[in-house]
Amino acid sequence: MSVLDSIIEGVREDLANRRKPLSEIHDQMSQAPRALDAHAALFGEQMKVIAEVKRSSPSKGELSKIADPAALAEQYQSAGASVISVLTEERRFKGSLDDLAAVRSRVTIPILRKDFMIDEYQFFEARAYGADLILLIVAALSKSQLKDFYDVATELGMAALIEVHTADELERALEISPQIVGVNSRNLKTLEVDPAAFADLIPRIPSTLIRVAESGISSRADVEFAQSAGANAILVGEALVTSGEPTLAMRRLLGQG
């Protein structure tokens, strides 16, 4: 079993334990704030940052305790983040939907629910807790699931970040005519990081799309490398939460001192 398979198995078990009747989640959705336009937030000539609230990871273990995820998200917003990513996977990343709700209550920019989306129920859940953007990992989904889930997210007013790691996954991603495509330099099946994925895959993504570089970004040089490949946004978590000064760390990544 790969690391990705193991994570998904846990996600299924946790979802089964917290699943509510659809009527309840629909009631909660009706009270959620209207979804913000994540595509517009990430569009433009300047490098955009998706800053992540991330306590732990399968590859590194605990990164930061983050007692107040909303306060961290506010720091990210003040430092110039365009989108806040909130991990909601419980076992490997120590996140929760409560984190998502807390962040939504304190920031005014779009929020990405970062999780392993494998069941339609999770999309209603994401919207009910205030997500504006969701993640679809091509490696974790069949061709039909990818299309169906993308359509569900769109119908609920959310944008979708389509994540790929290989040329084959990128080909599958482009078949659904996405607006935002992310290249993850980390192979989720082995957890190995290879930044060469940026140089290989990002140039193959049409320049009309938002092109996001994910994982393995910890220095200004990493950002410049991703940008030279054609990325117009970066998703960064570990480098920010382990820095001790996330505002300063983000500014350094953006070359602002």
Q: How far apart are the first and last CA of the chain?
A: 44
Residue 66 pLDDT > 70:
yes
The catalytic residue positions are 52, 54, 114, 163, 184, 214-215
pLDDT tens for each residue of 118-168: 999 999 999 999 999 999 999 999 999 999 999 999 999 999 999 999 999
**pLDDT score, position 85:** 98
- Cα→Cα distances 92→9, 113, 142, 163, 194, Å: 12, 15, 23, 19, 21
Residues 6+ apart with CB under 8 A from 241: 52, 53, 54, 55, 63, 64, 66, 72
Strand bridging mode 61-62 / 56-57: antiparallel
Residue 232 pLDDT > 90:
yes
Mean pLDDT of 90-101: 96
List, in sequence order, the alpha helices (H) in 117-204.
120-128, 143-155, 167-174, 196-201
Distance CA 52, CA 59 (A): 16
**pLDDT score, position 1:** 74
Residue 231 pLDDT > 90:
yes
Distance CA 195, CA 211 (A): 15
Number of domain units in the chain:
1
Residue 241 pLDDT > 80:
yes
Question: What are the backbone angles phi and psi of residue 85, rounded to the nearest 5°?
Answer: -100, 130
**pLDDT score, position 257:** 67
Let me know if 79 is exposed, middle or buried by CB neighbors in 10 A (0-12, 13-18, 19+): buried
Q: Which domain holds residue 57?
A: 3-253
Question: Taking a C-beta distance cutoff of 8 angstroms, is the pair 238, 57 a contact?
Answer: yes
**pLDDT score, position 222:** 96
Residue 59 pLDDT > 90:
no
Average pLDDT, whole number, for the chain? Answer: 95
Mean pLDDT of 46-59: 94
pLDDT tens for each residue of 174-213: 999 999 999 999 888 888 989 899 999 999 999 999 999 9
Q: Which residues pair with 137 in a beta bridge?
A: 163
What is the domain-level CATH number for residue 30? Answer: 3.20.20.70
Q: What is the pTM of this model?
A: 0.96
CA quadruple 25, 26, 32, 33: dihedral positive or negative?
Answer: positive
Distance CA 201, CA 249 (A): 27
